Amino acid sequence: MNPPVVEARGLTHVYDDGTVALQDVSFRIAAGESVAIIGANGAGKSTLLLHLNGHLTPTRGDVRIGQTPLTRQTLPSIRRSVGLVFQDPDDQLFMPTVYDDVAFGPRNQGLAEEEVGRRVQEALERVGVWSVRAKPPYRLSGGEKKRVAIAGVLAMAPDILVMDEPTSGLDPHARRQLIGLLADFGHTRIFTSHDLDMVLDLCPRTIVLFAGAVKADGPTRDIFADAALLAQCRLERPLALQACPRCGRTQD
């Protein structure tokens, strides 16, 4: 196994109101891995993601990105290598035009304007929405917004992509296209999702959170085969793995 690029050790987070959101969470993710973090609502997925690029500070335990522990001093460099795509693109897109929005990150990195232009074009072409660069983000469809939000993070050239519910709110076609797009990325990828079919397509490995703790961590197919575990964690087998309603056979 490659050396871990993302490592959490005994990560515990207690919110100000006393809610324990994460409890002694530990895992190691290697370079190039694609990992899903799944769990019921309130299991701690979002809290965990916010730890991965330093928006929250652990109550106990720590997070390391590559060889670097996450501290106040290392925050800028860690945010450069961990790209976080938010669930609701409307929270992320705020500049007057798509181009300016995607350029926001690279400009904050202090890059020269030619380099910014190159990155923006590359990122927008990568996700297939270069044609809407002059439009204001709020005029885009949900699928386009999602792509622009991803481009905004890609333009910063992160090593690790962290995405919160990438397929939420997309129509089936846009969802399928996005899954195809994400499958092609070479980054280390970490997704949270309730879209377990997407998880099956994109992530060979799955971490299951339950009440803030890691309940299971292993090959996605094994986890989805464990009916008792899924039921306990308020999850369901993905449709692709469920028996055919007509003939009763499963896919494999």
Partner 1 sequence: MSAPAVLAGLLDFRRLDLLAAEDSALHRLDARAKLVVALAFVVCVTSFGRYAVAPLLPYFVFPIAVAAAARLPAARLSRQVALLLPFALLIALPNPLFDREVLLRVGGVGIAGGWISLVSILLRALLAAAAALTLVAVTGFPAICGALERLGMPRQLAVQLLFLYRYLAVLGEEALRMTTARELRGGGRPLSLRLYATLVGRLLLRTWDRAGRIHLAMCARGFVGDFRSGERSRFGRREIIYVAGWCGLFLLLRTQDPTHRLGAALLRLFQ
Q: Which stretch binds partner 1 (CB under 8 A): 1-9, 107-115, 201-209, 233-241?
A: 107-115
The torsion region of residue 6 among left (phi > 0), alpha (psi -120 to 50) and beta comes to beta
Q: Which is nearer to partner 1, 89 or 237 (CB)?
A: 89
Instruction: Determine how many CB atoms are found less than 10 A away from the CB of residue 30.
Output: 15
Q: Which residues pair with 34 in a beta bridge?
A: 189
Please select the residue that binds partner 1; options are 25, 36, 63, 116, rule is CB under 8 A: 116
* Binding to partner 1, residues 117-156 (CB under 8 A): 134, 136, 138, 152-153, 156
Q: Which stretch binds partner 1 (CB under 8 A): 33-41, 108-116, 122-130, 224-232?
A: 108-116
Please select the residue that binds partner 1; options are 29, 36, 63, 103, rule is CB under 8 A: 103
* Binding to partner 1, residues 56-95 (CB under 8 A): 76, 79-80, 83-84, 86, 88, 90-92, 94-95
List the x/- string, 169-208, binding to partner 1 by CB under 8 A: ----------------------------------------
Strand pairing class (4-14; 20-30): antiparallel
Q: Which is nearer to partner 1, 13 or 205 (CB)?
A: 13
Q: Identify the three-state secondary structure at position 181.
A: helix
At residue 108's C-alpha, the angle toward residues 132 and 150, to 5°, is: 40
Tokens of 124: 């927008």
The one-character DSSP state at 86 is -
Q: Which stretch binds partner 1 (CB under 8 A): 33-41, 66-74, 105-113, 199-207?
A: 105-113
Instruction: Determine how many CB atoms are found less than 10 A away from the CB of residue 15.
Output: 12
CA distances from 60 to 12, 57, 124 (A): 5, 9, 39
On the CB side of 242, CA atoms within 13 Å amount to: 9
Q: Identify the three-state secondary structure at position 172.
A: helix
Q: Which is nearer to partner 1, 15 or 138 (CB)?
A: 138
Give contact residues for partner 1 (rule: CB under 8 A). 50, 53, 55, 76, 79-80, 83-84, 86, 88, 90-92, 94-97, 100, 103-105, 107-110, 113, 116, 134, 136, 138, 152-153, 156
